[in-house]
Amino acid sequence: MSSTSTGASRARTAFCAPQSRKFALFTRTKIIRTLSTLLVTVAAAATPVLAQQDIVLGQSVALSGPAAELGREMQLGAQLYFDDINATGGIRGRNIVLKTLDDGYEPARAETNTRKLIDDDVHALFGYVGTPTAAASIPLATTAKVPFFGAFTGAELLRAPFNRYIFNVRASYFDETELIVKQLTAEGLTRIAVFHQNDAYGQAGLAGVEKWPLLLRQWVGIAKVDSLKG
């Protein structure tokens, strides 16, 4: 059901989707380790000419603006791991090169960066941060047939419809919100307020919260309050 902020104040429980530093670190580590497996496959399948080249990954993340911390940590964590791999001989003798461009968490800039990275012939697009930026970049990656790997977002648009060029590592927002709603309803709570960003990321989380009460065949009143207006 829809509601104003007055309705939200009556809600017994407010749901937000914070990502703790510990969870974010675990997710990034899982992404990077899984990518290493993919890179071994890429290296093994390379022709003799390609086998002499570096493995180049393209990344567009926020290095400036309000979301800069997420982007910088994603870049730095990956770079540290790749430096360690390169120091021990790389992937079958091939070094991993990470090319990162700043998009400020803005879809238009992410689209421009993605186009540039594809034009630079990167082997894969890796470690994008954010739903809006991923949404703007995926069509370009799909058209160019460039793998889009390990984006730091759980949005459903990366999962449905199926796209053979998208490789997800983290859980979806639907998976996460399912467990949250199940836990709340198990405690007897039936009114939930959702404070969400008024963009693709916030809408994805909201959709997950609204979906699961129907699947659980339970009536849960959901008050929606945008945290961003405009």
As a whole number of angstroms, the distance between CA 29 and CA 23 comes to 10
Among 5-14, 46-55, 114-123, 166-175, the range of highest mean pLDDT: 114-123
Please check the confidence at residue 25 and state whether its pLDDT lies above 80. no
Q: Is the pLDDT of residue 23 over 80?
A: no
Question: Please, which pLDDT band fits residue 175 given cuts at 50, 70 and 90?
Answer: confident
pTM, two decimals, is 0.71
3-state secondary structure of 172: coil
| pLDDT at residue number 161 | 94
pLDDT of residue 95: 94
Closest by CA position to 195, among listed 157, 161, 229: 229
Residue 133 has pLDDT above 80, yes or no: yes
Is pLDDT larger for residue 167 or for residue 23? 167
Q: What share of the chain is helix, strand, coil (3-state, %, to 5)?
A: 50, 15, 35
pLDDT per residue as tens digits for the range 70-121: 999 999 999 999 999 999 999 889 999 999 999 999 999 999 999 999 999 9
Asked if the model's pLDDT at residue 160 lies above 80, the reply is yes
pLDDT tens per residue across span 182-210: 888 888 887 888 888 888 888 888 888 88
Q: How far apart are CA 176 and CA 170, in angstroms?
A: 10
Average pLDDT in the 1-17 region?
37
